[in-house]
Structure 1
Amino acid sequence: MDIPTTPARFDSAELSELLDGRWAHVRSRVREALAGIELPDGSDLDTESHRARTLEQLHLLAKSGIPELGFPESCGGRQDIGGSVVSLEMLPGNLSLMVKAGVQWGLFGGAVVALGTERHHERYLRDIMTLDLPGCFAMTETGHGSDVQNLRTTATYDPATEEFVVHTPHESARKEYIGNAARDGRLAVVFAQLVTGGKSHGVHALLVPVRDANGESLPGVRIEDCGRKAGLNGVDNGRITFDQVRVPREALLNRYGDVEPDGTYRSPIAGAGKRFFTMLGTLIRGRISVAGTAGSATKLALEIALRYGDARRQFERPGTGDETVVLDYLAHQRKLLPALAKTFALHFAQEELVSTLHDLRDSGDERRQRELESRAAGLKAVSTWHATRTIQTCREACGGAGYLAENQLAQLKADTDVFTTFEGDNTVLLQLVAKGLLTNYKDHVDELGPLGMVRFVADQVVEAVFERTPARSLVRRVADTRRDDVFDRGWQLELFEDREKHVLDGLARRLRRATGDNAFEVFNSAQDHVLRAATVHIERRVLEAFVAAVERCRDRDTAALLDRLCDLYALSTVEADRGWFLEHERISPRRSKAVTEAVNELCRRLRPHAVDLVAAFGLPRQWLTAPIATGAEAARQRTQRAHDRAPER
């Protein structure tokens, strides 16, 4: 097998510049700001001390000016939505701080920006930016987590007093897991069913005070502490129950729906369903931030594990008298390097997603907004599951040392575990992706017209016949022989595209064949297929983002190295799913073996660059505290200095 050239060296500055991307100035600013602020993780503290330290650190962040990025210029912000998301990605070494910052400025402040109007902006945003007004984002309920549209908290308008009465009608409507609620929050954005004139108009958001300036709960507001969690104990999660709490009419965040003094409801968007999804769509920033921060935590874990693997020795190499560096073992490379390749791929996909979010703000383009929401859901699911798996792999790769608290991996595991279920449960999010794909699929079919529809159905029949006959196998194998190079980028892209198309076509046929009128049963019976369609779609988008990034790289050697890393992502993904590719005769057994051989060889060739590759992400140095990583780096630098001083022979 002919393996494309892997350069002996690459331009690390060029790679870092490419990774910093569009918001390089924000990343540089955060690095500079953090270099002058000590923000150590407080996981070794008791819960109350950890929360107190995190709040102190949040005030330091507020003074740095970083939170201003995501707020309107009219209130002293910088109107840089993308920059605000990227800034949170730079806090992976103190995830309690990241989450608390995300709650204050991303969720709470972001909701006031996105759902409120000028009266709310003028009154609240400056105090939110400076942290003079700490707040909460009270959406989730005990009985309704993912199903936001059916929240049970009510906000009933009383025209006699021109007030809304916010109420928790029963225990399952209690607001649950609310960040900043147990200790620090004074004002909450509360999502509730808006009722006026005896009619419900769906879920809306209102600003409801929950504490006074002394930190005491206000009348009618009951706050409970969720208590100690598996991780993120610097964040004060709490439960909030409302007992007929009255707030003025102006407390309604009224960008998408308002109530006149007499109780008349008005909205620029017809239909409660469309209005609800429009409102939720404006809050997508939190989900995108979780995906990015999960990626950053993964990078930190990989840097710890790769630095340790590059220094740790185990078992004598025969004939040398020296023990073998563990990263020289193929099995160790197999653990970490495909994960590193996927982390690069997800980084570039995240960058594209953040750019789309930034460029679409207030554009009014509904189609692109729906597509953004779908991509955000899918990438959040894939990125957070990747973080969970990779951090565990890194812990195992570091043996007993990885289990020690001082080496950070145990805390990264604990703090990121909840990422798979907050800001949307991953399984639910993938179903949203699949529903979007099916909607686009239906729209495409509807646009074909009668003749196009006939041809489309005929194509599906041919596809099904080929699937069941040797003819298809023959066609596949001819193509397989004709394109023998597994490093052919066009072949890789076509393979991902073909898999996505086949899975989606099969899902559409399966749903069409379903009998009965119960939509839930039809969809539920195909749920495995639904989740697979979403997954392969996201994997294709991620590969395309990686390919585009390689094409942007100016330095030839750096581009060549990234090319091999992209090969490793593509081929390790094919290898992981080769059962499907073999069953559907997209690859032959010979090609399947060639893919595995290629992954092995790519791991060997990328191994000398592994530490430099992960370091190119440029995570702020104060986050790397694990002795197994910092000690390894010190030893590596001593070796390099000795090499540089040695006379040439």
Structure 2
Amino acid sequence: MNALTEVLDGRWAAVRGEIRAQTAGTKYPDPVGLSVEEHRALILEQLHELAKTGRPQLGFPSVYGGGDDIGGSVVSFEMLGFGDLSLMVKAGVQWGLFGGAVQLLGTREHHDRYLPSIMSLELPGCFAMTESGHGSDVQNLCTTATYDPATREFVVETPDRQARKDYIGNAARDGRLAVVFAQLITDGAGRGVHAFLVPIRDDDGAPMPGVRIEDCGIKAGLNGVDNGRLTFEGVRVERSALLNRYGDVGEDGGYTSSISSDSRRFFTMLGTLVRGRISVAGSAGSATKRALTIAVRYAERRTQFFRPDGTEVRILDYLGHQRKLLPALATSYALHFAQEELVSTLHELQSGDGQADEHRQRELESRAAGLKAVGTWHATSTIQAAREACGGAGYLAENLLPSLKADTDVFTTFEGDNTVLLQLVAKGLLTSYRHQFQDLSPLETARFVAEQFVGAVVEATAARKVVERIIDASSGRDDDDIVFERAWHCKLFEEREEHVLDGIARRLRAASQENAFEVFNEAQDHVLKAGRVHVDRVVLEAFVGAIDRCEDPEAKALLNKVCDLYALSNIEADRAWFLEHGRLTSPRAKAVVAGVNTLCAQLRPRASELVDAFAIPEQFLAAPILAD
């Protein structure tokens, strides 16, 4: 294994290596040209083969045959992103969302009854949260589950068309049991959104009484996943169908919960399901790496036009082409290391006693939201750039890039709409992860922010300590070569975040009881900026921390240049803000642009080495444009 791959593989190198070895001996048929039904059948067949490998069981408890390895489970989903993304999504629905909800929201009774058959795929299931009328606003879902003490059952009801469960993976064809999120009503009172296990098909595949199932039909991509719509008409389920880790209903209809606040209970429940969001970010990263590998390898082969000496020019020798691919490649490296750090935090929190650390849990949720948003937007823009970099050849389905474009496009809006997620990041920053924030009114929130919190929340991570050491040791120089100094990058990213957050706090001081919504709405662009620059700082620091851990001198030097390119291309893209706020002079801004050009030229001879370090199984790179 080369030194770069070793650094990239990180903590779960053994899991990555095992998956590569297993993948090398498995043939995955190409879905291009298949009908929707054929593609769905193929993915289900592959899902059963995947179940036999034992990898989907990694994140489940060992007492049920799992591996007690939450981080390894997320990494295994990430690795699926190198192949047919329909398989990754369907696996994520079965073992990440459906199985994860039973594991994390249920109790011992549910685990004993369902987990073994979920893990083995004997019981295929769905995760039914999103409704036609409510996507991001989960707290106000309209499906109801009303407890009937006379029969000791819940009655699940879809009150109107907007309340039907929509885009539900596994629902249209294969799912038999659904985790349905609904408003719990008992003893005449609403208790907020809870999760219920609702059978949707019998053993013969027919819809259960009162359950109406519709097929969402052909999508722009991911047509190997059977997305469907679910409607419930007086569907009765037993009292034990309630996943009752955080709230329970007694036989008489009495409600009990260890968390008194409905809002806090709701967000605690959702927070336990953060694993799915983290897996999406990782899989998007894998698809992006695959696209970049194809584009870089093609750019090393493809020639266009002649030099004065009569030799043809490889297109990667053109600065314009380098700028199209190499800053994106640097960002993929940066996001990879941030993702690894995030997965490690998840593993520590959801294994053993770490679950009780509510402050770290809130930080995890915020970072997961931010990295998912930034990572999936990066995937969308980079895969498009890779397609363009391959010209007309990149538009042919056989060369893989069109399906990557189509399959990843929805990543920006599922597992949380990216715009909403960045607002969640900013809210977490502005409240310093205050407990029960969701119970505050907009006016109370504004006052809290204005009076108690100004400035960035800077976490004391291992990477942060490395950054502080670098800043403390900085030379203090002020010539244009400072643009290549890591301390300058880190301070600039920090100052940007602090300034943006300070600006929001000052704007919120104008809020009153009468205009609270308007003040927040008018500041939304500012809020989104705060979320974005916070994530950028976190990503840079994760990259810096990874370089510090690298022991191979040559790999370390190369990673330093890649990190320089990530930092400078980020500053270049936002140089209008830096100029407007006096953080860059005009000459220094020009030096940043020149620095990006210099780094592209320096990294151009190492481009193939950088993409080869991803160690993507070659069968997933078998595009005809790369054939000798």
**TM-score (norm. length: structure 1):** 0.89
Render the CA deviation track for 1:96-132: whole Å, top value 9, x for unaligned.
0000000000000000000001111111111111110
8 Å contact from structure 1 (residues 546, 566) kept in 2: yes
Q: Does 1:330 align with 2:322?
A: no
SS in structure 2 at match of 1:485: helix
Residue in 2 that maps onto 1:240: 230
Matches within 5 A, 1:249-328: 249-319=239-309, 321-328=310-317
Render the CA deviation track for 1:3-58: whole Å, top value 9, x for unaligned.
xxxxxxxxx71111110011111111111221222223424200011100100000
Q: Does 1:20 align with 2:9?
A: yes
Mapped to 1, the partners of 2:223 and 2:296 lie a distance apart of 28
SS in structure 1 at match of 2:230: strand
Instruction: Give 1:583 deviation, angstroms.
Output: 1.1
Instruction: Give 1:622 deviation, angstroms.
Output: 2.0
Mapped to 2, the partners of 1:595 and 1:442 lie a distance apart of 38
Matches within 5 A, 1:553-568: 553-568=550-565
- Within the candidate set 55, 61, 86, 1:66 is matched to 55
8 Å contact from structure 1 (residues 307, 628) kept in 2: no
Q: Does 1:527 align with 2:524?
A: yes
Residue in 2 that maps onto 1:431: 423
- Within the candidate set 365, 368, 379, 1:387 is matched to 379
Residue in 1 that maps onto 2:547: 550
Residue in 2 that maps onto 1:210: 200
Letter in 2 for 1:31: R
SS in structure 2 at match of 1:440: coil
Structure 1, unmatched stretches of 5+, are 1-11, 444-452, 459-478, 635-649
Q: Name the CA shift for 1:395/1:482 in 2 (closer, same or farther; >3 Å).
A: closer
Residue in 2 that maps onto 1:37: 26
SS in structure 2 at match of 1:204: strand
Mapped to 1, the partners of 2:218 and 2:30 lie a distance apart of 16
Mapped to 1, the partners of 2:53 and 2:89 lie a distance apart of 17
SS in structure 2 at match of 1:182: coil
Mapped to 1, the partners of 2:370 and 2:31 lie a distance apart of 32
Letter in 1 for 2:557: A
Mapped to 2, the partners of 1:415 and 1:454 lie a distance apart of 45
8 Å contact from structure 2 (residues 285, 332) kept in 1: yes
Mapped to 1, the partners of 2:274 and 2:433 lie a distance apart of 24
Residue in 2 that maps onto 1:612: 609
8 Å contact from structure 1 (residues 507, 529) kept in 2: yes
Render the CA deviation track for 1:449-470: whole Å, top value 9, x for unaligned.
xxxx999999xxxxxxxxxxxx
Instruction: Give 1:484 deviation, angstroms.
Output: 4.9
Mapped to 1, the partners of 2:128 and 2:8 lie a distance apart of 35
- Larger Rg over CA atoms: 1
Residue in 1 that maps onto 2:191: 201
Residue in 2 that maps onto 1:440: 432
Instruction: Give 1:363 deviation, angstroms.
Output: 2.1
Mapped to 2, the partners of 1:491 and 1:260 lie a distance apart of 60
SS in structure 2 at match of 1:70: coil
Instruction: Give 1:191 deviation, angstroms.
Output: 0.4
- Greater Cα shift, 382-391 or 519-528: 519-528
Mapped to 2, the partners of 1:301 and 1:457 lie a distance apart of 41
SS in structure 1 at match of 2:398: helix
8 Å contact from structure 2 (residues 397, 403) kept in 1: yes
Mapped to 1, the partners of 2:50 and 2:526 lie a distance apart of 45
Instruction: Give 1:514 deviation, angstroms.
Output: 4.0
Residue in 1 that maps onto 2:478: 481
- Within the candidate set 574, 578, 602, 2:575 is matched to 578
8 Å contact from structure 2 (residues 144, 184) kept in 1: yes
Instruction: Give 1:442 deviation, angstroms.
Output: 8.3
Letter in 2 for 1:67: P
Mapped to 1, the partners of 2:214 and 2:452 lie a distance apart of 61
Q: Does 1:107 align with 2:97?
A: yes
Residue in 2 that maps onto 1:541: 538
Residue in 1 that maps onto 2:505: 508
Mapped to 2, the partners of 1:65 and 1:622 lie a distance apart of 22
Residue correspondences, number: 590
Render the CA deviation track for 1:411-444: whole Å, top value 9, x for unaligned.
100000000000000000000001111101989x
Residue in 2 that maps onto 1:346: 335
Mapped to 2, the partners of 1:454 and 1:522 lie a distance apart of 16
SS in structure 1 at match of 2:27: coil
- Greater Cα shift, 226-235 or 589-598: 589-598
Instruction: Give 1:325 deviation, angstroms.
Output: 0.4
Mapped to 2, the partners of 1:39 and 1:242 lie a distance apart of 37
SS in structure 1 at match of 2:213: strand
Q: Does 1:396 align with 2:393?
A: no
SS in structure 2 at match of 1:346: helix
SS in structure 1 at match of 2:281: helix
Residue in 1 that maps onto 2:458: none
Render the CA deviation track for 1:131-172: whole Å, top value 9, x for unaligned.
100000000001100000000000001111111111111111
Q: Percent identity?
A: 69
Q: Name the CA shift for 1:101/1:575 in 2 (closer, same or farther; >3 Å).
A: same
Letter in 1 for 2:77: L
Render the CA deviation track for 1:70-97: whole Å, top value 9, x for unaligned.
1111111011111111101112220000
Letter in 1 for 2:611: V
Q: Name the CA shift for 1:506/1:57 in 2 (closer, same or farther; >3 Å).
A: same
Matches within 5 A, 1:146-165: 146-165=136-155
Residue in 2 that maps onto 1:448: none
Residue in 1 that maps onto 2:369: 377
Render the CA deviation track for 1:525-544: whole Å, top value 9, x for unaligned.
10000000110000000000
Mapped to 2, the partners of 1:193 and 1:113 lie a distance apart of 21
Mapped to 2, the partners of 1:566 and 1:582 lie a distance apart of 22
Residue in 1 that maps onto 2:88: 98
SS in structure 1 at match of 2:615: coil
Render the CA deviation track for 1:161-197: whole Å, top value 9, x for unaligned.
1111111111111000000000000000000001111
Q: Name the CA shift for 1:441/1:204 in 2 (closer, same or farther; >3 Å).
A: closer
Instruction: Give 1:588 deviation, angstroms.
Output: 1.0
Residue in 2 that maps onto 1:494: 491
Mapped to 2, the partners of 1:40 and 1:390 lie a distance apart of 26
Mapped to 2, the partners of 1:357 and 1:281 lie a distance apart of 11
Render the CA deviation track for 1:327-380: whole Å, top value 9, x for unaligned.
001110000000000000000000000000100115211111111100000000
SS in structure 1 at match of 2:432: helix
Specify which structure has the bigger relative contact order, considering alpha-carbon pairs within 8 angstroms and separated by 6 or more residues: 1
Structure 2, unmatched stretches of 5+, are 436-449, 456-475
Mapped to 2, the partners of 1:203 and 1:57 lie a distance apart of 34
8 Å contact from structure 1 (residues 480, 591) kept in 2: no
Residue in 2 that maps onto 1:461: none
Mapped to 2, the partners of 1:526 and 1:152 lie a distance apart of 29
- Greater Cα shift, 142-151 or 509-518: 509-518
SS in structure 1 at match of 2:381: helix
Residue in 1 that maps onto 2:590: 593
8 Å contact from structure 1 (residues 90, 620) kept in 2: no
Mapped to 2, the partners of 1:188 and 1:33 lie a distance apart of 31
Matches within 5 A, 1:446-485: 481=478, 484-485=481-482
8 Å contact from structure 1 (residues 483, 491) kept in 2: no
Letter in 2 for 1:282: T
Mapped to 2, the partners of 1:266 and 1:620 lie a distance apart of 51
Mapped to 2, the partners of 1:617 and 1:189 lie a distance apart of 36
Please give the root-mean-square deviation of Cα atoms over the aligned residues, in Å: 1.7
Instruction: Give 1:516 deviation, angstroms.
Output: 5.2
SS in structure 2 at match of 1:481: coil
Residue in 2 that maps onto 1:82: 71
Q: Name the CA shift for 1:457/1:373 in 2 (closer, same or farther; >3 Å).
A: closer
8 Å contact from structure 2 (residues 430, 453) kept in 1: no
8 Å contact from structure 1 (residues 480, 588) kept in 2: no
